[in-house]
Amino acid sequence: MPKLGLQLYSLRDLAKDDFLGTLKQVADIGYDGVEFAGYGGLSAQELRRVVGDLGLEPVSSHVQLSELESNLRQVIEYGQELGLSYVVCPYLPEDKRQTLDDYRRLADTMNQIGQEISQAGMTLAYHNHAFEFVRFENQYALDALYALTDKRYVQAELDIYWVEYAGQSALEYVERYADRSGLLHVKDMTKDDERFFAEVGTGRLDIPSILSTAKAGGIEWYLVEQDVIRRDPLESVTMSYRYLLDLTARQ
């Protein structure tokens, strides 16, 4: 059964003011684990103790490409001490994604970084947005990137909202990359023309079918992330958690 985690970026404003208190609130909601987007200024040893005391698993962390390229040893050492399973590249600067050659260079970089992370007992993953759905030589950039990388060293953290926002089928992409996906970013999209971020289960995405396919493919974690929240943030991530808890109990 896949576990339920929260990408802490969803609560960044709360975490900025009270990082430890925010972690406790996430645990109180019932989440099994967290994906980090910063560490609140804590040492890895301190943070591991905190999440352990709260009963949260330190699943993964979003680390910018520039940090992976320039500071990989420290990223690895911190991740090992914290007990991370995954390190995730969450975004590409615009100047790194203009051409197919840019993605070829990225693939080479990711293969090298992923191999080092693998040797340290963790796994590198790449998190998509919508901008990877530009075509180069009759292939979307995201597919080119995965074709050019070794799935032993570079996994997919598919974001189902951004796949759908780009006009593609999240269900098809989850099925396509089931053999290299341990993490899935679960978020929903409003039913109106704005296609804005929505609490999971309240929008237009076929969450039950997507998650059923992900589970059949061996996904380990469903990670809730809502980039922008238009209600109380804790209420939002609680709504998504409760929906997923009920859904996963029935699947």
Reported as a single tens digit per residue, the pLDDT across 199-231 is 999 999 999 999 999 999 999 999 999 999 999
pLDDT of residue 11: 99
Model confidence, pTM: 0.97
Q: Measure the CA angle with vertex 50, ends 48 and 56; round to 5°.
A: 80
Which pLDDT band holds residue 159 (cuts at 50, 70, 90)? very high
Percentage, residues of the chain above pLDDT 90: 100
Question: Any bridge partners for residue 125, and if so which?
Answer: 88, 155
In 3D space, the residue among 31, 55, 56, 69 whose CA is nearest the CA of residue 239 turns out to be 31
For 3-250, the fitting CATH number among 3.40.50.720, 3.40.50.410, 3.60.120.10, 3.20.20.150 is 3.20.20.150
* Cα(159)–Cα(230) distance, integer angstroms: 20
Burial class (CB within 10 angstroms; exposed 0-12, middle 13-18, buried 19+) of 130: middle
Question: Any bridge partners for residue 4, and if so which?
Answer: 222
Q: Are 114 and 154 in contact (CB under 8 A)?
A: yes
DSSP state of 218: T
DSSP state of 85: S
Q: CB atoms < 10 A from the CB of 221, how many?
A: 24
In 3D space, the residue among 171, 173, 227 whose CA is nearest the CA of residue 195 turns out to be 227
* Cα(52)–Cα(57) distance, integer angstroms: 7
* Amino acid type, 162: W
pLDDT of residue 124: 99
Which pLDDT band holds residue 49 (cuts at 50, 70, 90)? very high
* Cα(94)–Cα(110) distance, integer angstroms: 17
Q: Are 204 and 188 in contact (CB under 8 A)?
A: yes
**What are the structural domain ranges in the chain?**
3-250
Percentage, residues of the chain above pLDDT 70: 100
In 3D space, the residue among 59, 63, 78 whose CA is nearest the CA of residue 5 turns out to be 59
| Average pLDDT for the chain | 98
- H or E segment at 140? strand 139-140
pLDDT per residue over 19-28, tens digit each?
999 999 999 9
* Cα(243)–Cα(227) distance, integer angstroms: 18
Which pLDDT band holds residue 192 (cuts at 50, 70, 90)? very high
Which pLDDT band holds residue 149 (cuts at 50, 70, 90)? very high
CA distances from residue 186 to 25, 154, 250 in whole angstroms, order as listed: 20, 20, 17
